[in-house]
Amino acid sequence: MKTLHTDIAVIGAGTAGLAAYRAAKAAGKRALLIEGGPYGTTCARVGCMPSKLLIAAAEAAHNAAHTEAFGVHVGGEITVDGAEVMDRVKRERGRFVGFVLDGVENIPAEDKLRGYARFVSDTVLEIDDHTQVHASRVVIATGSRPSVPPPFRELGDRLVVNDDVFAWNDLPGRVAVFGPGVIGLELGQALARLGVEVRVFGVSGSLAGISDPQVRQSARKIFQREFYLDPDARVLETKRVGDEVEVRYITLDNAERTERFDYALVATGRRANVDGLGLENTSLELNVHGVPVFDRETMQAGDSAIFIAGDANADAPLLHEAADEGRIAGENAARYPDIRNGLRRAPLAVVFSDPQIAVAGQGHGRLIPGTFVVGEVDFSDQGRSRVMLKNRGLLHVYADIETGRFLGAEMVGPSAEHIGHLLAWAVQQELTVARMLEMPFYHPVIEEGLRTALRDAAAKLALARDALRNETAEQETA
């Protein structure tokens, strides 16, 4: 077995790993980038980019089929050529992956090592069975993979995950989607709009990461008008029959139904790739999911020389977070033991469904009951949204009663990707609702809907403060 010595070993050449490697090199250290799978990153190969390409095709089909309300009649039948759709998805995906590969190509050969890494100790890694790497510090950036519950595994090649969808040469006829999280909802709706017959089954009512019960209910109703979606499904049996998947379930109107599908697309969550790393050979403390306990400001695991970034730490499995975390981990690995807090941004998550979903700042589920007010706008009568026939959805903004500070928001509705950015920026700037209402709002724009929600929050803040004042006065006179 070969032996290599380096300052910093980075395990995984995805978004987080590449950022960590570059930060370590920029700090003047020797660094080794270890990759076991294909180069190209999850985001470009089988994540953010191909999913958005499929969604773009779906939007084109949907828009073409919904022009009549404007008095615009597109002649003839609208057809979707599945092979052409998938060809474009793969071609464009290839371009994005190509940019990443060019970047990897530019990394000196002596800094790259192929193979899967396992810890032998805190500072020694074994790469497959060919190399032992001695590193003063290690960055774990091994990403995540789809987590597939055991009963689905019996479906063999009729079970697909997101990676498989983007390898299709044509669109199938019928797909059962399990898991209406972000990935399941995005892919399920896109396939439905491309003419695939889709059923989406969930458990416990959760939907696309929305924690606000009213926003979730609004989203649920909107999507249910378009395709079969049961976030709280009672699936009785899933089995393979010939080349098909048979699903027996209780329908939304309480009848038992058995249907056959070409595939079961399982999107029931993702699992951090830390289970095969030999973490038992390290000094690291692990949480209940087997993920090293780490500091999200420094990425350091305990007080060790090991840092963990990106999906591998299961904290905020999003592309921009992986890039930030990778950079912080690389910088701190280079500085170790003199580590520093890195820049963490206000939380922002977007779901590219139609209408889109956004969660900015603190979502409803993280707020302390009784400490905040909820400002609301229902988009059904919002001017610009109605003009464009995009008038569906609900925005809730949350504000702190004591300080008037804007805390966060959840929404399903038009342009959520843009409104979400405005709101996350406001959270990071620590703006109050009053200060946000001093900002310009053009007319007629969807942001006027946001202003309505903020005004509603301002009015409720005034009421809540009056109530607090009265309560205090009563207590003082009692």
Ligand X SMILES: Cc1cc2nc3c(=O)[nH]c(=O)nc-3n(C[C@H](O)[C@H](O)[C@H](O)COP(=O)(O)OP(=O)(O)OC[C@H]3O[C@@H](n4cnc5c(N)ncnc54)[C@H](O)[C@@H]3O)c2cc1C
Q: Residues comprising the binding site for FAD?
A: 52, 142-144, 311
Q: Which helix (H) or strand (E) holds 239?
A: strand 234-241
* Contact call for residues 147 and 268 (beta carbons, < 8 A): yes
Give the β-pairing of 372-378 and 306-308.
Answer: unpaired
Question: Looking at 21-29, 270-278, 367-375, 449-457, which segment touches ligand X (CB under 6 A)?
Answer: 270-278
Place of tokens 């249907």: 259
User: Taking CB under 6 A as the criterion, which residues in 114-153 touch ligand X?
Assistant: 116-117, 141-143
Using CB under 6 A as the binding rule, whether residue 322 contacts ligand X is answered as: yes
Shortest distance, position 447 Cβ to ligand X, whole Å: 22
Using CB under 6 A as the binding rule, whether residue 330 contacts ligand X is answered as: no
Query: What φ, ψ does residue 366 adopt, rounded to 5°?
Result: -100, 0
Q: Between 325 and 400, name the residue whose CB sits nearer to ligand X.
A: 325
Q: Between 116 and 263, name the residue whose CB sits nearer to ligand X.
A: 116
Using CB under 6 A as the binding rule, whether residue 13 contacts ligand X is answered as: yes
Q: Between 41 and 189, name the residue whose CB sits nearer to ligand X.
A: 41
Question: Looking at 36-44, 248-256, 365-373, 435-443, which segment touches ligand X (CB under 6 A)?
Answer: 36-44
> Distance between CA 77 and CA 329 in Å, rounded?
54
The one-character DSSP state at 365 is G
- Cis ω for the linkage preceding 355 (within 30 of 0): yes
Using CB under 6 A as the binding rule, whether residue 89 contacts ligand X is answered as: no
* Contact call for residues 398 and 423 (beta carbons, < 8 A): no
Using CB under 6 A as the binding rule, whether residue 299 contacts ligand X is answered as: no
Q: Between 250 and 286, name the residue whose CB sits nearer to ligand X.
A: 286
Using CB under 6 A as the binding rule, whether residue 37 contacts ligand X is answered as: yes
User: Which one among 6, 162, 304, 362 touches ligand X, defined by CB under 6 A?
Assistant: 162
Using CB under 6 A as the binding rule, whether residue 48 contacts ligand X is answered as: yes
* Contact call for residues 419 and 384 (beta carbons, < 8 A): no
Instruction: Output the known binding site for NAD(+).
Output: 179-186, 269
User: Which one among 6, 15, 268, 391 touches ligand X, defined by CB under 6 A?
Assistant: 15
Q: Which helix (H) or strand (E) holds 131?
A: strand 131-140
Place of tokens 């789809």: 146
* Contact call for residues 263 and 172 (beta carbons, < 8 A): yes
User: Which one among 6, 7, 17, 196 touches ligand X, defined by CB under 6 A?
Assistant: 17
* Contact call for residues 299 and 309 (beta carbons, < 8 A): yes
How many positions of this chain bind ligand X (CB under 6 A)? 35
Using CB under 6 A as the binding rule, whether residue 35 contacts ligand X is answered as: yes
Q: Where in the sequence numbering do the catalytic residues fall?
A: 443
Using CB under 6 A as the binding rule, whether residue 16 contacts ligand X is answered as: yes
> Distance between CA 457 and CA 118 in Å, rounded?
52
Q: Between 352 and 372, name the residue whose CB sits nearer to ligand X.
A: 352
Q: Return the residue nearest ligand X (CB atom).
A: 14
* Contact call for residues 154 and 319 (beta carbons, < 8 A): no
Question: Looking at 33-41, 99-107, 220-228, 445-453, which segment touches ligand X (CB under 6 A)?
Answer: 33-41
Shortest distance, position 47 Cβ to ligand X, whole Å: 3
* Contact call for residues 4 and 27 (beta carbons, < 8 A): no
Query: What φ, ψ does residue 425 adopt, rounded to 5°?
Result: -65, -40
Using CB under 6 A as the binding rule, whether residue 353 contacts ligand X is answered as: no
Alpha-carbon Rg for the chain, nearest whole angstrom, is 25
Nearest to 193 by CA among 67, 75, 353: 353
* Contact call for residues 410 and 212 (beta carbons, < 8 A): yes
Shortest distance, position 121 Cβ to ligand X, whole Å: 16
User: Which one among 273, 298, 353, 382 touches ligand X, defined by CB under 6 A?
Assistant: 273
Query: Which residues form the interface with ligand X (CB under 6 A)?
Result: 11-17, 34-37, 41-43, 47-48, 51, 116-117, 141-143, 162, 183, 273, 276-277, 310-312, 317-320, 322
